[in-house]
Structure 1
Amino acid sequence: MIDATLELMEEGVLIPTAQLISERAGVGIRSFFRHFADMESLFIEIDQQTRESSEALFIGGDREGTTEKRILHAVERRADGYEDQKNTILCVAALSWKHSFLRENYAHYQRALRKDLDDWLPELKKLPRARREAIDALASFEMWHRLRSHQGLGKKQAIKIVVEMISEAMAAS
């Protein structure tokens, strides 16, 4: 059932239901609820099974070199992670109003991404708060999704824009 849920999400089903998951898994709806008390229980189990691989998409990478190189590498790393996890992130956004676990877990991941950006770019700690917050927004999935899906930019174009905006924000005096 976990695999069925992940398949549905990957296919773009952003609000998978117990019925859809059961059908995809080839089990009855009653079997679903024998394994999971509710949908939130399913999401908790999915997170436990996928957390390590999801985090690995964002953590790591070459953190050496000039500020410009590190900005580029950080944005490329996030771009790859965002591309891979797009439907999962959109699913969480679509369902977070209903499931406190998803809201809290998304907030956890956002804090981890912020800390990771600080690890890539320790210079951020010296910036005025408003500029630091702006850079966090520029590096976010929401900005990435806007550039890719709403503005129709290719991956390389979106990376270039995010890198330029973060570089300008860091250089502004």
Structure 2
Amino acid sequence: MALPDVTRTPPAIVSDGRRARSRSSRAKIVSAMLDLVAGGDVSPSAAQVAEVAGVGLRSVFRHFRDMDALYREMAEAIESQILPILMRPPEGATWQQRLFDIADRRAAIFETIMPYRISANVRRFDSAFLMEGYRRQLRLESEALAAYLPQAVRADAEGARGLNVILSFSTWRLLRHDQNLAPQEAAAVVRRMLDDALARWPQG
């Protein structure tokens, strides 16, 4: 009876090794995408991602069928960072105080996601997926704010929309990116605009 060839690697171990290498390559690709965007490249190419990740271009598209799929993975990675901040209920004895807490929290969130959201916004006109993601973000911002507004304020459509603009990512990007303000300066402007806007409603 022939003895088993103990020098050969069992198929299960070979398969596990391939899966591990595949997961490693995928993680390197996502990390490279995040690094490129964080470094200021708002629209990196697949070739650039492959070069930074240290993998072949074919490997990028073996893991991600197109750049939209890679952007989706990037969005999920970013959401995992900001979700704990976003889900914590705002603090404050009055609804106005809670809005200031939301303003401070959004400043931290927007500062974290700014390069990635700018990157997605640049590409959204060529991508149905990114355009839908953009519209979803706007809805979430508006709905999250409306949840903490009194009925009388929600009924004031113009006033409520004004609050939404003040606390939006677009306003934060304009202050930080277009006006080149430091984070603390941008946060101070947002708080000043919010304070002025809230003056029209009674405290409580």
Which bin holds the TM-score, normalised by the shorter protein? 0.7 to 0.9
Superposed displacement of residue 123, structure 1: 5.6
* Structure 2: stretches of 5+ with no match in the other structure: 1-28
Does structure 1 retain, via aligned residues, the 8 Å contact 2:37–2:44? yes
Write out per-residue CA displacement over residues 74-98 of structure 1, whole angstroms, 9 at most, x where no aligned residue.
1110000011111011101111111
Q: Which amino acid aligns with 1:87?
A: P
Q: 1:153 and 1:49, CA in 2 relative to 1: closer, same or farther beyond 3 A?
A: closer
Query: Bigger shift: 110-119 or 23-32?
Result: 110-119
Percent identity between the aligned chains?
27
Determine if the alignment matches structure 1 residue 76 to structure 2 residue 112: no
Q: Which has the larger radius of gyration?
A: 2
Does structure 1 retain, via aligned residues, the 8 Å contact 2:146–2:154? no
Count, aligned residues: 173
Alignment match, 1:65: 93
Does structure 2 retain, via aligned residues, the 8 Å contact 1:9–1:87? yes
Write out per-residue CA displacement over residues 108-131 of structure 1, whole angstroms, 9 at most, x where no aligned residue.
122112122123444674341112
Determine if the alignment matches structure 1 residue 99 to structure 2 residue 124: no
Structure of higher RCO (CA pairs closer than 8 Å, 6+ residues apart): 1
Aligned-residue Cα RMSD (Å) equals 2.1
- Scaled by the length of structure 2, the TM-score of the pair is 0.75
Superposed displacement of residue 103, structure 1: 1.0
* Mapping 1:1-173, distance limit 5 Å: 1-122=29-150, 125-172=153-200
